[in-house]
Amino acid sequence: MHATHQSRWFYAAAGLMVGAVLGMNLAGLWPQQRLHASATESVDNFTVATGLAGDGVEALYFLDKLTGDLKAAVINPRPGGRNASPKFTNFYEYNITKDFATSGGGRASNYIMITGNAEIPRGSAGFQLGSSVIYVVDVTSGEAAAYALPFNTTQFSSGKPFMGTFVPLDKVKLRTAFVRE
């Protein structure tokens, strides 16, 4: 009888704890962890990827493998106020060919692109580099370069169109051995 009495108290306490956790979660009082996902797809001479430009704002990245043009478009959910339909308002362009050894070297570049997350410190005049880093690898040369886009939340909130350029962050040689083709 003593063991039965103890197990009742245990189950009652466990039930109260589970109920409290569920109640806090349903009421929105439990700390929430935001999920961030990005996607990358490549077909023939094009690669597209998604990644965060700012807090809760996503960018669409595009790489033309033939020309080396890296572009981005950021969709604004409310470009002209509460009832406005979403529109792309921020655009970025940069040609990456000058950043790789194969440009002008007679060998064709073969690019791949992915995105990652990075919280880079705030810049001047309200501009901060976006929350995503765009990594481009030239498989032919074995070099990789990282890029970011400047993102101003105040400008973005205004809904006014913005045209900018990517900021090259750094380069690294991933393959050191010479490969014959």
pTM: predicted TM-score of the whole model, two decimal places: 0.73
**Counting runs of H as helices and runs of E as strands, what totals does the chain give?**
2, 12
180 domain-assigned? no
Q: Are residues 97 and 14 in the same domain?
A: no
Shared domain check, 24 and 57? no
- Regarding whether 130 and 105 lie in a shared domain, the answer is yes
Q: Let me know if residue 14 belongs to a domain.
A: yes
DSSP code per residue over 48-108: EEEEEEETTEEEEEEEETTTTEEEEEEEES-TTSTTPPPEEEEEEEEE-GGGSTTTTSSSP
Domain identity same for 129 and 151: yes
- Shared domain for 99 and 26, answered yes or no, is no
Q: Is the pLDDT of residue 35 over 50?
A: no
> Is 51 within the bounds of a domain?
yes
- In the predicted structure, residue 39 carries a pLDDT above the cut 70: no
For residues 170 and 6, the model is more confident at 170
From CA 137, how far away is CA 158, in angstroms rounded? 35
Same domain flag for 110 and 21: no
* In-domain check, residue 147: yes
Asked if residue 111 and residue 27 are part of one domain, the reply reads no
For residues 24 and 45, state if they share a domain.
Answer: no
Are both 106 and 57 inside the same structural domain?
yes
Examine the domain organization and report whether 16 and 59 are in the same domain.
no
Identify whether residues 73 and 93 lie together within a single domain. Answer: yes
In a domain, 131, yes or no: yes
Q: Which of 101-115, 132-146, 162-176 has the lowest mean pLDDT?
A: 101-115
**Predicted local distance difference test score (pLDDT) of residue 103:** 55
Predicted confidence (pLDDT) at residue 113 exceeds the cutoff of 70 = yes
Q: How many residues does the chain have?
A: 181
The SS3 assignment for 149 reads coil
Residue 8 structural domain: 1-32
Q: What's the whole-number mean pLDDT along residues 49-68?
A: 90
